[in-house]
Amino acid sequence: MKKRSLVLVTVDCLRADHVGFQGYSRPVTPNLDALAANSVIFSNAIVAGAPTYFSFPAILASRYPLALGRDVLGIAPHESTLATVLHDAGYATAAFLAGNPYLSRRYGYDQGFDRFQDFLSSDGSGPLPLGTTRGRFSKLNQLIQSATHRNGLLAGAYEELYFWYCQWRTAQQDLPMDTLRRYPAANVLVDEAKSWLNSLGEQPFFLWLHLMDPHHPYFPPEESFAELGAPRITARRARFLNSFWNRGDIGPERLRRYKSEILSLYDAGVHWVDKQLSRLVETLQNSQRWDETVFVVTADHGEAFLEHDDRYHSPTSLPEHLIHVPLLLHARELSGKRLSLQRPFSLIHLAPTLLDAVGVSAPDSFHGRSGWGEMSAGELSWEPAITECVDGCNNPAQADDRLRPRLMAVRDEELKLVVNFRESRDYLYDLRNDPGERMPLSPGQRTRERANLLQIARRHLLRTSENQNTDLRLRARLRELQQSGRMAGREASLS
């Protein structure tokens, strides 16, 4: 029997509540919505780690992000992934990743791919930073900044004046969105993917696309606004909005004034993804490969827009808007009607499920298990989904930043336990009555359920530490030693 092909599309920062097929009122994803009518929709797909660098070991290798030790980043050398397994099974494999540095060769994501294009420039050059200036005033600026920051009021006044000065300077440059954008837009990746697909013969393939269009700074293609029926935001305005949204010196109330425009930029990015994915689907249909392909769209994490006065996707909390992602799976035998699965589905189970769907065995190293059989029968029966990260680890490239306590969420259908190990506290939320997670239940409420979720958390900690793959851990640590320059060795001695 001919093996089936697999297309995995991961969209950075895509929230579940911002796609039409999961209830978003704005028409940002008409093509995916149409596809969803003949697909399996996992209504409660939950990432196993957030953000990107904690999410992808689970997506590609079905491994909890901290299972090799919280000091290990990325995919370990010789670790089994979707790509390595499918490559060994005779698949042609390719990855086109829109310039996320955490999904690069450096962190082992190229393993198993015949073709790996991460769109990262080798010299680190790129568009101008947001609303900043360079040149002869920078030293003077540093002196003024240092002097004024001795006093709180003066510091605030300085930051405000400096921000508006930078805006005035940069407003004189009329740069288009395409220049301001930090990552290649989805159309660039889909073009590359189409070329690659057209070069294939009859062998089955695994194609992975990672799209960054909804990721900040938000600079979507301008035609996306017109298609959305939304007021156009000029490149100049978008540059100002991104600069303002990025300010660390002001509070949420001032940021809120621009939230709706920021959301428009974000939604336009999502819409562009939707449009480009329809081109990819069309290519597969026109080449008569659609019926033999399992097509999956999901995300590595969501994005915050001041729900808890937070922005972006920092691993300092694990709210629903960060860990609840869309998951759409289209396969020929499951098409014909929409199948919506309600129970929480952890992305730790995605890779084994996809391998099962294409008829390839999953390795024993995978932590998750296949849901293909149950899904085909229309129901899932899983234990609650676990999400973990290193609390506050915003710069994982710095090894010390990973040596912090864990943050963990255990998510059931209606309850969610968040364990904050730094605070030695746990918070239980009733998602049915408090979907915004604003009022943790008091310690005396739902005690039995709280204890049950704590037991699951405990089993997870014990299982991952007892079953740690020390060989993979050692390989990953050695890779980091070489990359960090510590193997230059001048400082090394026996003492």
Partner 1 sequence: MDQYRTVNLPEDLCVAAEKFMTGRFESLEVLIGFLLQEVVKDDVSKFDQAEERMIEQRLKDLGYI
112: left (phi over 0), alpha (psi -120 to 50) or beta: left
What's the min distance (Å) between Cβ of 60 and partner 1? 22
The residue from 27, 30, 69, 363 that contacts partner 1 (CB under 8 A) is: 69
Identify whether the C-beta of residue 299 lies closer than 8 Å to the C-beta of residue 51: no
424 binds partner 1 (CB under 8 A): yes
Q: Which residues contact 411 (CB under 8 A, 6 or more apart)?
A: 44, 46, 323, 344, 384, 385, 386, 387, 417
Q: Which is nearer to partner 1, 144 or 461 (CB)?
A: 461
45 binds partner 1 (CB under 8 A): no
Q: Which residues contact 482 (CB under 8 A, 6 or more apart)?
A: none
Q: Which is nearer to partner 1, 258 or 421 (CB)?
A: 421
Q: Which is nearer to partner 1, 321 or 406 (CB)?
A: 406
The residue from 403, 411, 436, 475 that contacts partner 1 (CB under 8 A) is: 403
**CA-CA distance, 225 to 267, in Å (whole number)?**
9
The residue from 210, 406, 411, 479 that contacts partner 1 (CB under 8 A) is: 406
The residue from 149, 451, 467, 483 that contacts partner 1 (CB under 8 A) is: 451
454 binds partner 1 (CB under 8 A): yes
Q: What angle do CA 485, 313, 265 make, to 5 degrees?
A: 115
Q: Which is nearer to partner 1, 369 or 446 (CB)?
A: 446
Q: Which is nearer to partner 1, 330 or 450 (CB)?
A: 450
**CA-CA distance, 320 to 310, in Å (whole number)?**
13
| β 345-346/385-390 pair status | unpaired
Q: In 290-398, where does DSSP find H-type helix? A: 320-323, 350-358, 372-376
Q: Which is nearer to partner 1, 377 or 492 (CB)?
A: 492
306 binds partner 1 (CB under 8 A): no
Task: Report 476-495 residues binding partner 1 (CB under 8 A).
Answer: 477-478, 481, 487-490, 492-495
Identify whether the C-beta of residue 201 lies closer than 8 Å to the C-beta of residue 245: no
**CA-CA distance, 387 to 49, in Å (whole number)?**
5
What's the min distance (Å) between Cβ of 488 and partner 1? 6
Contact letters (x/-) for partner 1, 170-199, by CB under 8 A?
------------------------------
- Amino acid symbol at 163: F
Q: Mark the segment that binds partner 1 (CB under 8 A) among 24-32, 68-76, 148-156, 213-221.
A: 68-76
Q: Among 178, 176, 164, which Cα is nearest to 132's?
A: 164
The residue from 175, 200, 263, 474 that contacts partner 1 (CB under 8 A) is: 474
Q: Mark the segment that binds partner 1 (CB under 8 A) among 64-72, 211-219, 245-253, 432-440.
A: 64-72
440 binds partner 1 (CB under 8 A): no
71 binds partner 1 (CB under 8 A): yes
Tokens linked to 439: 């009022």
Q: Which is nearer to partner 1, 337 or 490 (CB)?
A: 490
Q: Which residues contact 205 (CB under 8 A, 6 or more apart)?
A: 5, 6, 91, 92, 93, 94, 197
Burial 431-468 (b: 16+ CB within 10 A, else e): beeeeebeebbeeeebeebbebbeebbeebbeebeeee
The residue from 287, 445, 465, 467 that contacts partner 1 (CB under 8 A) is: 465
**CA-CA distance, 427 to 406, in Å (whole number)?**
14
Per rule CB under 8 A, count of chain residues that contact partner 1: 33
Radius of gyration of the chain (CA): 23
Q: Which is nearer to partner 1, 254 or 458 (CB)?
A: 458
461 binds partner 1 (CB under 8 A): yes
Q: Which is nearer to partner 1, 296 or 418 (CB)?
A: 418
Does the bond joining 51 to the residue before it have cis omega, within 30 degrees of 0? yes
The residue from 213, 261, 320, 426 that contacts partner 1 (CB under 8 A) is: 426
Q: Which is nearer to partner 1, 119 or 427 (CB)?
A: 427
Tokens linked to 65: 């992000």
Q: Which is nearer to partner 1, 165 or 427 (CB)?
A: 427
Q: Which is nearer to partner 1, 132 or 445 (CB)?
A: 445
Contact letters (x/-) for partner 1, 346-385, by CB under 8 A?
----------------------------------------
Q: Among 78, 48, 103, 85, which Cα is nearest to 368's?
A: 48
**CA-CA distance, 278 to 310, in Å (whole number)?**
32
Q: Among 414, 401, 253, which Cα is nearest to 343's?
A: 414
Q: Please give the residue ranges that form the binding site for partner 1 (CB under 8 A).
A: 69-71, 403-406, 419, 421, 424, 426, 447, 450-451, 454-455, 457-458, 461-462, 465, 474, 477-478, 481, 487-490, 492-495
